[in-house]
Structure 1
Amino acid sequence: MKIQIKDETFILHPSGAVFWESKKIIIISDVHLGKVTHFRKYGIAIPQNAISENFRKITDVLDYFEPEKIIFLGDLFHSSKNAEWDLFEKWLSNHNQETYLITGNHDIIDEKHYKSISVIVIEMLEIEDFFFTHHPTEKDNLFNFSGHIHPGIILRGLGLQSLKLRCFFQKPNQMILPAFGEFTGKFILKPKSDHHIFAIAGNEVIMINKNN
């Protein structure tokens, strides 16, 4: 779904990524690489193929949009280095985009490891009228792209049935991205009258009536 923010076109992708059309930038939040391996280590039953699914999803997004730059909005890795770091390093070697990591609360891997594979690690990034952070942040006259919250919405039917979906949660000067990674969960947010909700339903992004 294409939307306009400050006269710029952004495309909301059902993977949870956002593409800034004029700048050829892909924006991705909360991948939480290493989480599946971390959980499996402690006996939590998560399918092994969930690891490859994260990399497949990112690759599909890059192949579709062909961006020149990637901005990860924090929590790229869930915890310390594990076997998935080697997979990430190999995956990154097959892509030539300039890559930024905006540090999140889970990003505890030493910056030197990212530097060795040409990932630029910073606390925030400002580009023209937009700035990028992990935690949702207000800043005068700038529009914020962030993550961290893993936003979700509940859709209710006429009966007792309900459905929880990931969503892009837009406030007047802010867009909170859904978590990109597998097994990351959702935090249900309650929209106000000036909020816009873009729910992810399968392979579609749909705008939800804010009064629902």
Structure 2
Amino acid sequence: MSAVAVRVAGENLLLLPEKAVYWPLEKMLIIADIHFGKAAAFRALGVPVPRGTTSENLAGLDALVAKHGARRVVFLGDFLHARAAHASSTQLAMLAWRQRHPDLELMLVRGNHDLHAGDPAAALGIELVDEPHAIGPFAFCHHPDVDTPGYALAGHVHPVYVLATRFDALRLPCFVVGSARMILPSFGAFTGGHAVKPEPGDNIYVTSGDAVHSVR
């Protein structure tokens, strides 16, 4: 799969087709809006939605950690979608995944859904911080509009970009890379997206799942 390298805040970052960012210098994967338990929350309300999204998310993490040799994963908020994410089946799946990666450092920058869902189980061994959280030249955030002196890496928006012709249109997850902040696409399965309109100076990189492409 074809990633795209960008240089921001004096550092090289890789925009990955799998809707994540990799910081090679720190061997760090950066993930936004994984929303564990979202499908379970909908099913708890009687809405018939697909099962298996937790397994799909964990398999995606497995593949990225193995592919890049990551030593650390930072989640940019909305790790859990709602209190339904504390259901035993979801928790057992996440604990089993954690046991496969005991040496992997995990950090969660709390997002708005995390505040309602509650913190992840302590057994997952996730460091919990509030936004903005500074590491090197970056400010790790959930919301992209947080006032911070560092270059912000954020989520929350679930950005997608609409590629349109006269006859059809396609919505693809995208990275929004500006001069002072980057907004990552939602990593989680079954999370939807919000069509974004680039601001002056923004560069848009869409992902097809197989490759990342610059479109603006």
TM-score (norm 2): 0.90
Higher relative contact order (Cα pairs below 8 Å, separated by 6+ residues)? 2
Superposed displacement of residue 170, structure 1: 1.2
Superposed displacement of residue 11, structure 1: 0.7
Q: Which residue of 1 aligns with 2:182?
A: 175
Higher helix share: 2
Contact preservation (8 Å) 1:37, 1:51: no
Residues 3 and 184 of structure 1: CA distance in aligned 2, closer, same or farther (over 3 Å)? same
Contact preservation (8 Å) 2:95, 2:123: no
Q: Answer yes or no: is 1:138 the counterpart of 2:147.
A: yes
Structure 2 residue ranges without an equivalent (≥5): none
Q: Answer yes or no: is 1:121 the counterpart of 2:128.
A: yes
Q: Which residue of 2 aligns with 1:84?
A: 90
Percent of pairs identical after alignment? 30
Q: Deviations over 1:34-55 (max 9, x none)?
A: 1112222333222223331111
Q: Which residue of 2 aligns with 1:150?
A: 158
5 Å-filtered alignment, 1:68-79, equals 68-79=71-82
Structure 1 residue ranges without an equivalent (≥5): none
Q: Deviations over 1:106-151 (max 9, x none)?
A: 113444x5433321111032112111011112323x2000101101
TM-score (norm 1): 0.92
Q: Which residue of 1 aligns with 2:66?
A: 63
Contact preservation (8 Å) 1:30, 1:180: yes
Q: Which residue of 1 aligns with 2:113?
A: 106
Say which SS state the counterpart of residue 116 (structure 1) adopts. Answer: helix
Superposed displacement of residue 160, structure 1: 2.7
Question: How many aligned positions are there?
Answer: 206
Runs of 4+ in 1 over 3 A off after TM superposition: 108-111, 113-116
Contact preservation (8 Å) 1:114, 1:121: no
RMSD after superposition: 1.4
CA distance in 2, matches of 1:86, 1:49: 13
Q: Which residue of 2 aligns with 1:162?
A: 169
CA distance in 1, matches of 2:121, 2:73: 14
